[in-house]
A and B are shown apart, each in its own frame.
Chain A
Amino acid sequence: MIEARDLTKDYGSKRAVDGLSFTVRPGIVTGFLGPNGSGKSTTMRLILGLDAPTRGDVTVNGSDYREHAAPLHEVGALLEARSVHTGRSAHNHLLALAQTHGIPKRRVSELIDLVGLHEVARKRSGKFSLGMGQRLGIAQALLGDPKTVMLDEPVNGLDPEGIHWMRNLLKGLAAEGRTVFVSSHLMSEMALTADHLIVIGRGKLIADTSVDDFVSRASQKVVVVRSPELESLRAALAGPDVSFEPAERGALEVHGLTAEQVGDAAAAAGIVLHELTPRQASLEEAFMNLTRDEVEFAAELQEVVA
């Protein structure tokens, strides 16, 4: 269980996390989504007490992370940035961490086997590929048999087999009753893995919703029409929640109306239609629509600065 209340973090004049309040519940996989620079990694560092919040607070399993007697048993974390000494082997890296909690050495070998690093466990970890480094990070996160697992973009650098493995692992961990909190940019990946979503943009909470709700909201109302009288059709369909986008081969994409509504309106206006196709917006599109304002603002800001 992770509970954030009004969590805020400033780096100088830059507000990275802005008044976030959310709860991550046990027994399910919670996806943490947001575009680049939206504050996901910062939020995770705040949860672990690596950075101190400017305002607000966050607890893990009921108390401040730093107050736990056996933190690795409470939270297992994979951070975005590399967190391993490049000159140390995977085995010794994990061993040193295990020793802080009196975790036996055989647990280290057990996890190295679990993530498939057996062959390279005694080599300097600086030589690891991105995917191998990621596997080591996952072994580290699971070392203490944690009640809460928190992973920052865990599929980053994994091959398809690794991604599949990760998906199963996360679901399995949640099924055992653990709290699983995973960040990603990829809505499609989260739709396959997560049960619940927390979406942020520019440090602020945008959505806190179940994946099912998000998907049904996303799959609403996009219709592709083809007509010799496109201009009149536009006029007939126009409304406050309706927008148009040109589609391929002279077709028109209508957002905000169902196929029935478009067909009825065309008939009423006596406009000939050559095609009327309802289409599902992809989850990626829905995610981008949700966060578009935030991203656009950021882009504008950068133009001003540049």
Chain B
Amino acid sequence: MSAATPSVRLPRLDRTGSVAFRRVLLSEWTKLRSVRSTKWSLGVGFLLTVAFPIAFSFATSSHWGSMSPQDRADRQPLDIALVGVNVAQLAIAVLGVLLISAEYSTGSIRSTFTAVPKRLLVLWAKLIDYSVVSLALMVPAVLVSFFSSQAILGRHDILQISFTQPGVARAVLGGALYVMLVGIFALAIGAIVRNTAGGIAAFAGIFFVLPPLMFVLPTSWNNAISQYLPSDAGRQLFSLHHASHSLRPLTGGLVFAAYCVAAIVIAAVLLVRRDV
């Protein structure tokens, strides 16, 4: 036991810098990589993108002999190659919502905004970090799924398509771009709703509930409206053939991007105005 009171001294910090955007980018990257949900969601996203096309390719190959000519004609090699994108988008969307909603549910948002009181820097940094990460994950994922599904189908010499054929590379990489935009859209929704369950529900509502509801409308309305929904517009990025009552790939991509921008603007306005 020491009789004298031990004095506690805070060591001085020899160098202090100011808040700068590149520093917030680094900070948000540290946060992104240091929670388990990131590894899980990204891992699952990659696996789903790759596993579904491989499974479908094997199934198609083994059933090819017993399929009717009509059935065979309905198979599209790119549909098989990119089938996983439809599933992977959910994993990327959930993580997008979580990246911001978990800050509110755990209270870490108060630490975040105390360190960076110019709140928009945080939003921009999260969006950029997540876009880079999801694109870096999805580009290899769609390439692997395209070439592996083609290799499996190629052993039976069926449903072959070349990467250099017009539109194919665009559609394959468009699948990755689409998922990246889904992540952005989900992150913005998370920032608006500030609640994990609510954010995921809002995303699912817009992407999975709204489209089938359109079939209740008169056909002419459905045809006119559906193509402008975020999900329908966005998926034109990775469809090879232009169907009737759908937008062209570039237009569809731009319409989806516009939805993302709108969601980001709403999120930004609310972020600045609301109490934490």
Interface residues of A (CB under 8 A from B): 45, 48-52, 65-66, 68-73, 75, 77, 79, 81-89, 92-93, 95-97, 99-104, 107, 110, 114, 140, 142, 144-145, 164-165, 168-169, 172-173, 176
| Chain A residues, CB < 8 A from B24 | 100
10 residue pairs, one from A and one from B, having the closest CB atoms? A102-B17, A145-B13, A92-B34, A66-B117, A69-B18, A99-B27, A51-B275, A85-B108, A169-B8, A83-B110
Nearest neighbor of A169 in chain B, beta-carbon distance: B8
Say yes or no: A172-B9 contact (C-beta < 8 A), given A87-B36, A140-B111. yes
CB < 8 Å neighbour of A101 from B6, B18, B111, B276:
B18
CB < 8 Å neighbour of A96 from B27, B102, B117:
B27
CB < 8 Å neighbour of B17 from A77, A79, A101, A176:
A101
| Chain A residues, CB < 8 A from B19 | 69-71, 100-101
| Chain B residues, CB < 8 A from A164 | 5
| Chain B residues, CB < 8 A from A71 | 19, 114-117
Q: Are A93 and B108 in contact (CB under 8 A)?
A: yes
Q: Are A89 and B34 in contact (CB under 8 A)?
A: yes
Total inter-chain residue pairs, C-beta < 8 Å: 137
Q: Are A169 and B10 in contact (CB under 8 A)?
A: yes
| Chain A residues, CB < 8 A from B11 | 110, 114
Bound CA span A299–B26, Å? 49
Q: Are A99 and B30 in contact (CB under 8 A)?
A: yes
Interface residues of B (CB under 8 A from A): 5-13, 15-20, 23-24, 26-28, 30-31, 34-37, 102-103, 106-111, 113-118, 275-276
CB < 8 Å neighbour of A84 from B15, B17, B37, B107:
B107
Bound CA span A99–B36, Å? 20
Q: Are A50 and B13 in contact (CB under 8 A)?
A: no
Q: Are B13 and A100 in contact (CB under 8 A)?
A: no
Bound CA span A180–B110, Å? 20
Nearest neighbor of A77 in chain B, beta-carbon distance: B114
CB distance from A170 to the nearest CB of B (A): 9
Q: Are A104 and B37 in contact (CB under 8 A)?
A: no
